[in-house]
């Protein structure tokens, strides 16, 4: 592995492509597509939220819900529509015709989201509403025991605005968005490094000599993954320093979780190159296939256009959920904006699970493939 690291840094092309080019790419994409990103700031505009009020005369939850809905509708241009048929409302939510359905009961408020996959709008809205209710309960409790403090609290927290609770309109800019999505795109190109490295092993006849020792084969694979992780960590550190110092990007309060998601994706990318090298006999064919795959995955993951545009078409909305970098980008953006979501756990599991599956499948294919280079 030490020899491969030295070879990596000796290659000016590798250093420029993997460490310097990402910074230039983020700058160009962030600068040129700022107008496109600004079109996508209000994710709630024109969206519908269904609700139902049970027994409005004695419903203690009615007033806080009413206060929230009025202010939220004013700030975001979302529309609250009353629907007294819960079954119909839930079906419409499951068809993505509404963000959610809220049933305001006497003693509780029930929130229904899409059972087939909660949308970004629903996650953000749910987070905002949860935060609002926490504040309301706090103020209500304070009014019972220390009523003199209520005016002070209300002056500080009397508005329910998206910018104070979740994704700030001022924070959503092209540099912030493209810092993360272009970083994941460049991480995907680590697969070309591990792929080339595997073919070099074959050229040096190391894989042929180690056919009888599956343990040593595993050691070679692990060394390639370690090489990819090292390169990926250097990419993350360089992008982190550059984006925060030069582009003014704030990575948020969940930097550790963001790093965990990125490292799991680095492992996926490293294994992707290794697996493809075990399937294709010709390096040129494998390299071309890998680059084509990266372009498709980059598009579906939101590296070229905002994710909202990718999700706007039915076919790309379906396809994007099949690629790990979509989940990685969604998780990272959620963590950056402190949206209450468990996507980062799902993203890590998807990256690592996909990596394990690729290793297993590529080993099976390479064994049954006639004349395979790694048989």
State pLDDT tens for residues 16-65: 666 676 677 676 766 665 555 554 456 787 889 999 988 767 777 787 88
pLDDT at residue 159, as a whole number: 45
Is the pLDDT score of 149 beyond 60? no
Is residue 100 within 8 A of residue 49, CB to CB? The reply is: yes
Is the pLDDT score of 1 beyond 70? no
Tokens describing residue 161: 């605005």
Report which listed range, 68-82, 110-124, 285-299, is most confident.
285-299
**Average pLDDT of every residue of the chain:** 79
Print the SS3 string covering the chain. Answer: CHHHHHHHHHCHHHHHHHHHHHHHHHHHHHHHCHHHHHCCCCCCCCCEEEEEECCHHHCCCHHHHHHHHHHHHHHHCCEEEECCCHHHHHHHHHCCCCCEEEEECCCCEEEECCCCCCCHHHHHHHHHHHHHHHHHHHHHHHHHHCHHHHHHHHHHCCCCCHHHHCCCCCCCCHHHHHHHHHHHHHHHCHHHHHHHHHHHHHHCCHHHHCCCCHHHHHHHHHHHHHHHHHHHHHHHHHHHHHHHHCCCCCCCCCHHHHHHHHHHHHHHHHHHHHHHHHHCCCHHHHHHHHHHHHHHHHHHCCCCCCHHHHHHCHHHHHHHCCCHHHHHHHHHHHHHCCCCCCHHHHHHHHHHHHHHHHHHHHHHHHHHCCCCCCC
Report which listed range, 66-70, 135-139, 254-258, is most confident.
254-258
Calculate the alpha carbon distances from 262 to 106, 122, 259, 359 in Å.
44, 25, 5, 20
What is the average per-residue pLDDT within 73-93? 89
Is the pLDDT score of 104 beyond 70? yes
Beta bridge partners of 110: 103
pLDDT at residue 168, as a whole number: 44
What is the average per-residue pLDDT within 341-367? 90
Q: Which CATH class is domain 48-165?
A: alpha beta
Could you tell me the pTM of the whole model?
Answer: 0.66
What is the average per-residue pLDDT within 237-262? 91
Lowest average pLDDT, out of 128-137, 164-173, 258-267, goes to 164-173
pLDDT at residue 101, as a whole number: 93
pLDDT at residue 152, as a whole number: 52
The total of other beta-carbon atoms located within 10 Å of residue 125's CB is: 25
Is the pLDDT score of 169 beyond 50? no
What is the Cβ-side half-sphere exposure of residue 265, based on CA atoms within 13 angstroms? 35
* Radius of gyration of the chain measured on its C-alpha atoms: 25
Q: What is the C-alpha separation between 251 and 333, in angstroms, rounded?
A: 9
| Position 130 confidence tier, pLDDT thresholds 50, 70, 90 | confident
Is the pLDDT score of 145 beyond 80? no
What is the average per-residue pLDDT within 102-108? 83
Beta bridge partners of 79: 48
pLDDT at residue 60, as a whole number: 74
Residue ranges, CATH 3.40.190.10, the chain: 48-165
Residue with the larger pLDDT of the pair 226 and 11:
226
Beta bridge partners of 51: 82, 102
Is residue 30 within 8 A of residue 245, CB to CB? The reply is: no
């Amino acid at each position: 592995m030490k020899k491969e690291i030295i070879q990596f840094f000796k290659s000016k092309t590798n250093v420029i492509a993997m460490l310097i080019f990402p910074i230039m790419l983020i700058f160009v994409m962030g600068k040129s597509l700022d107008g496109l990103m600004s079109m996508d700031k209000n994710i709630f505009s024109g969206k519908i939220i269904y609700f139902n009020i049970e027994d409005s005369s004695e419903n203690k939850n009615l007033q806080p819900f009413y206060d929230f809905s009025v202010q939220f509708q004013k700030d975001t241009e979302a529309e609250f529509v009353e629907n007294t048929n819960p079954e119909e409302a839930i079906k419409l939510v499951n068809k993505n015709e509404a963000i959610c359905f809220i049933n305001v009961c006497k003693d509780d408020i029930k929130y229904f989201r899409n059972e087939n996959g909660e949308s970004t709008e629903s996650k953000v809205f749910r987070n905002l509403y949860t935060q609002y209710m926490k504040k309301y309960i706090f103020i209500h409790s304070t009014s019972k025991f220390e009523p003199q403090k209520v005016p002070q609290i209300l002056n500080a927290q009397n508005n329910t605005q998206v910018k104070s609770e979740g994704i700030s309109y001022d924070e959503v800019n092209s540099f912030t968005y493209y810092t993360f999505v272009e970083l994941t795109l460049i991480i995907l190109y680590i697969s070309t490094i591990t792929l080339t490295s595997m073919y070099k092993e074959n050229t040096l006849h190391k894989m042929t000599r180690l056919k009888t020792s599956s343990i040593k084969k595993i050691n070679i694979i692990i060394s390639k993954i370690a090489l990819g992780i090292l390169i990926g960590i250097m990419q993350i550190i360089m992008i982190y320093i550059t984006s925060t110092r030069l582009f003014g990007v704030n990575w948020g309060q969940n930097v550790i979780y963001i790093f965990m998601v990125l490292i799991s994706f680095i492992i996926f990318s490293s294994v992707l190159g290794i697996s493809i090298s075990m399937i294709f006999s010709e390096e040129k064919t494998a390299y071309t296939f890998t680059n084509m795959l990266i372009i498709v995955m980059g598009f579906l993951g939101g590296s070229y256009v905002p994710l909202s545009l990718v999700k706007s078409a039915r076919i790309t909305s379906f396809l994007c959920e099949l690629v790990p970098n979509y989940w990685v980008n969604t998780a990272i953006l959620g963590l950056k904006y402190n949206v209450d979501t468990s996507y980062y756990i799902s993203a890590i599991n998807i990256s690592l699970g996909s990596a394990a599956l690729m290793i297993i499948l590529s080993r099976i294919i390479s064994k049954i493939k006639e004349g395979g280079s790694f048989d």
